[in-house]
Chain A
């Protein structure tokens, strides 16, 4: 039982490159979300999903896409990386959005 896993742990991108951050959970949770954490800003919601096939935007969705084809996976795509997207990205899952959220270990992204 791995809980919530994220890959990669670290990534360096050049401006304009695209990439996908992976998030997988084996907790059978319907709710999944992506946050970014920046110094002095706290965690901010990027996108979330209340179940397979359903996604919605959070507070800071610009520059990111998501899809939810299965209950287990919720990848986050950066379409054209910008230095402003340098951050630590956390995936989280829960029975529902208002319930305890379980976070993955995070992906540290540096965009040059």
Chain B
């Protein structure tokens, strides 16, 4: 069974700090990688895709390490509104036709 593992947290971080979390995946043939954000009692929403070369979107940076099979997310200058659960998501070697594999999520709490 394909697995995506994340530290569930919670990560309690003061506002303005930098926080990073990783996820590991078991399927070495996985092709696409994403971070989704889920607010309490809401649907998941795409935060960013993760590319082999890494990518940055404002305060958020995602990295992929295929050799070690892990994905990371870095949040700089954290805001209260960053409090959420962050889901690591991986597709299969088939390109995702048979769906996405979700990690259980990392719960982040930004404290004032």
Question: Do A98 and B102 touch across chains, with their CB atoms under 8 A apart?
Answer: no
The answer for the CA separation of A35 and B97 in the assembled complex, in Å, is 14
Question: Do A103 and B96 touch across chains, with their CB atoms under 8 A apart?
Answer: no
A97 — which chain B residues lie within 8 A by C-beta? 91, 94-100
The answer for the CA separation of A56 and B92 in the assembled complex, in Å, is 15
Q: How many residues of chain B get a CB closer than 8 Å to chain A's CBs?
A: 23
Q: How many residues of chain A get a CB closer than 8 Å to chain B's CBs?
A: 26
> Which B residues form the contact surface with A (CB < 8 A)?
4, 31-32, 34, 42-46, 49, 87, 91, 94-100, 102-105
> Which A residues form the contact surface with B (CB < 8 A)?
31, 33, 35, 40-45, 48, 50, 56, 58-59, 90, 96-106
Give how many A-B residue pairs fall within 8 Å (CB-CB): 63
Question: Do B43 and A105 touch across chains, with their CB atoms under 8 A apart?
Answer: yes
A43 — which chain B residues lie within 8 A by C-beta? 44, 87, 100, 102
Among A31, A33, A100, point to the contact of B34 (Cβ < 8 A).
Answer: A100
Question: Do B43 and A99 touch across chains, with their CB atoms under 8 A apart?
Answer: no
* Distance of B32 from chain A, by nearest CB (Å): 5
